[in-house]
Structure 1
Amino acid sequence: MLAVFDKSVAQCPEDLKTSSPDDVYALKDGILAKYFGSLHENAMTINLGSPGFVGYSNDKQNPLIPRLIAVVDNIVCLFLGHLENLATLKQQYRMSKSDNEVNIIIEAYRTLRDRGPYPIEQVIRDLQGKFAFILYDLASKTSIFATDADGSVPFFWGADSDGHLVVSDDVEIVKKGCGKSFAPFPKGCFYTSSGGLRSYEHPGNALKPVPRVDSSGEVCGANFKVDSKAKKEPLGMPRVDSAADWSSNY
């Protein structure tokens, strides 16, 4: 799975960017979408317009960590892996027996957005299993992605030379679009376009970047670790009927 977001809807952390003599692009001339299609049979891409695009294929997938995609009410979601408490979540969100993990993520997001009384970190923490997901709401131009607390499935993110954010389960695709400016997505964390990168395991603590160094000694993006000494304000999910500026909540 693949998502490329314009910096207007998903601001890339500066510490993820690495200076490089070579320019690499993810959105320009559809470069990364074409590359994704060349690697996977029956690959599909969904054009989000100026915010970017998402790509999906079930080609070469691990049967233990399947990929799923759904589009509901202008919400696009890609899901990788499985949830161990799927039955419990179906009851919680009053969903049918036929619904799967990707439907759960969309419904959980809609509940948070429209009427949810719980903080977003608690909702993601309630997801038990081995997973990563990417969600984009076209109506509000909101992006959310997360991975499980153990980082059990492959999930990477990076920045291209234009500052666009690239997220994928395929490290080679991320390298193609970002060069050296990439890293594994930090386990136990989630990202929102309004609030940036947060830890749902330690929601009260800030995250600090630690530069990544590859085998040749070159800096490649950064890993983000929980800073036990730095605190953050609580994070909430703004309602869709609010007239206030969402950015004021973070």
Structure 2
Amino acid sequence: MLAVFEKSIGKPPKELSLPAVGRDCLNISPEEIAELFRSWRSDSTFYSLSNCNFLALSHQDENPAYPRSIVVMDDIFCIFSGALYNTCELRRHYGLSRQATEAMIIVEAYKVLRDRAPYPPDQVVKELEGKFAFILFDYKASILFLARDRDGCVQLHWGTAADGSLVCTDDPNVISAACGKCYTPFPPGCMFIGGNGLISFDHPLNKVRGIPREDEEGNISAVIFQVDLFTRLHSIPRTGSAANWANATVVEGD
């Protein structure tokens, strides 16, 4: 799976670009990233959006235990990889039919969270039992929502392209070719909401920090995101409508 979104939508953490400081960045555009993915995965299906944003799905080299799927509902796109173990419970909770797939469940959970739910997004993701990674994009609201299971069983990498676009994929070769050094595994047990940043759904009141790793010459070679158990946040985003979902903020503690 692959998704590329312009900087204004993805709003990636600045730490993702740290390894590029003082180095030559790969001068590859979103269009070239798409062509690269097509050339490597001939079975891929693309969903092109405005301003060169896109999502793509391929079943090539798919792990049977963690299948990939995509659904488009009410202008919401969701690519899901993995398996949920409590699908029956989640279908009943969200009023879905027995035919509803994991991707459909994620979309419905997001819609309830965005429009009606009085609880924070970490609670919704915490209720997902299984091994998974998903990329969800609300086209009308221009909201990007990513998450990965707490054990990190399903691969998900993210990074920044030369123009600052956010690149997300489960293929380490694609992310390396698209982002050069400016990528890292998406942290397990975390979710990312464009505009709200990176949040641990097990430790939502603690900040998730990007920690630079240096090579022998003192250059930043990689960034790893980890939960800082010593830094508390004053609050976490609460949602009750599409408006305050988009405008919710996280404030770091002193």
TM range (shorter): over 0.9
Cα RMSD (Å) of the superposition? 1.9
* Counterpart for residue 24 of structure 2: 21
Equivalent positions of 1:51-70 (< 5 A) are 52-70=53-71
* 1:12-91 pair list within 5 angstroms: 12-17=12-17, 18-19=19-20, 20-27=23-30, 30-50=31-51, 52-91=53-92
Please give the alpha-carbon distance, in whole angstroms, between the structure 2 residues aligned to 1:204 and 1:198. Answer: 8
Structure 1: how far apart are the matches of 2:59 and 2:174?
Answer: 15
- Equivalent position of 1:247 in the other structure: 247
Structure 1 stretches lacking a partner, 5+ long: none
- AA aligned to 1:2 is L
User: In the aligned structure 2, how far is the partner of 1:191 from the partner of 1:124?
Assistant: 11
Q: Does 1:5 align with 2:5?
A: yes
Q: Evaluate the alpha carbon distance shift between residue 90 and residue 216 of structure 1 in structure 2; reply closer, same or farther with a 3 A threshold.
A: farther
Asked if residue 231 in structure 1 is aligned to residue 207 in structure 2, the reply is no
Which of 55-64 and 45-54 deviates more? 45-54
Is the contact made by 2:206 and 2:227 (CA closer than 8 Å) also made in structure 1? yes
Deviates more, 1:15-24 or 1:199-208: 15-24
In 2, are the aligned partners of 1:66 and 1:81 still within 8 Å (CA)? yes
Q: Deviations over 1:13-64 (max 9, x none)?
A: 111112221433341xx10111111111221111111261111111221111
Q: Name the SS of the counterpart of 2:125 in structure 1.
A: helix
Q: Tell me, what secondary structure is at the counterpart of 2:91? A: helix
* CA separation of 1:121 and 1:47: change in aligned 2, threshold 3 A: same
User: Letter of the aligned partner of 2:88 in structure 1?
Assistant: A
Contact 2:43 2:60 in 1 (8 A): yes
Is the contact between residue 5 and residue 53 of structure 2 (CA under 8 Å) also seen in structure 1?
yes
User: In structure 2, what is the Cα distance between the partners aligned to 1:158 and 1:104?
Assistant: 27
Counting aligned pairs with the same residue, the percent is 36
The 5 A counterparts of 1:179-190 are 179-190=180-191
How far is the alpha carbon of 1:217 from its aligned partner? 8.3
Letter in structure 1 aligned against 2:26:
D
CA contact (8 A) 2:116 2:240 kept: no
In structure 1, the residue matched to 2:223 is 222
- Count of residues in correspondence between the two structures: 246
Task: Give me the whole-angstrom Cα distance separating, in 2, the residues matched to 1:238 and 1:171.
Answer: 37
Residues 133 and 147, structure 1, Cα contact 8 Å, conserved in 2 = yes
| Aligned partners of 1:113 and 1:238 also within 8 Å | yes
Q: Secondary structure at the match of 2:7?
A: coil
Instruction: Give the counterpart letter for 1:14 in structure 2.
Output: K
| Deviation per residue, 1:128-158 (Å, 9 max, x gap) | 1000000000000000000001111111000
Partner residue of 1:176?
A: 177
Establish whether residue 133 from structure 1 lines up as the match of residue 134 from structure 2. Answer: yes
- The alignment's TM-score, normalised by the length of structure 2, stands at 0.91
Matched residue SS, 1:152 = coil
Residue 95 of structure 1 pairs with residue 96 of structure 2: yes
AA aligned opposite 2:102: E
Q: Contact conserved, 2:236 with 2:249, CA < 8 A, in 1?
A: no
Q: Partner letter of residue 93 of structure 2?
A: Q
Alpha-carbon offset, residue 122 of structure 1? 0.4
Q: Distance in 1 between matches of 2:29 and 2:216?
A: 25
Write the mapping of 1:200-215 to structure 2, written as runs, cut at 5 A. Answer: 200-212=201-213
Tell me the CA shift for residue 222 of structure 1: 1.0
Alpha-carbon separation, structure 2, partners of 1:82 and 1:166: 23
Q: Decide whether the 8 Å contact of 1:81 with 1:132 is kept in 2.
A: yes
Asked whether the equivalents of residues 118 and 240 of structure 2 are also in contact (C-alpha less than 8 Å), the reply is: no
2:194 alignment partner in structure 1: 193
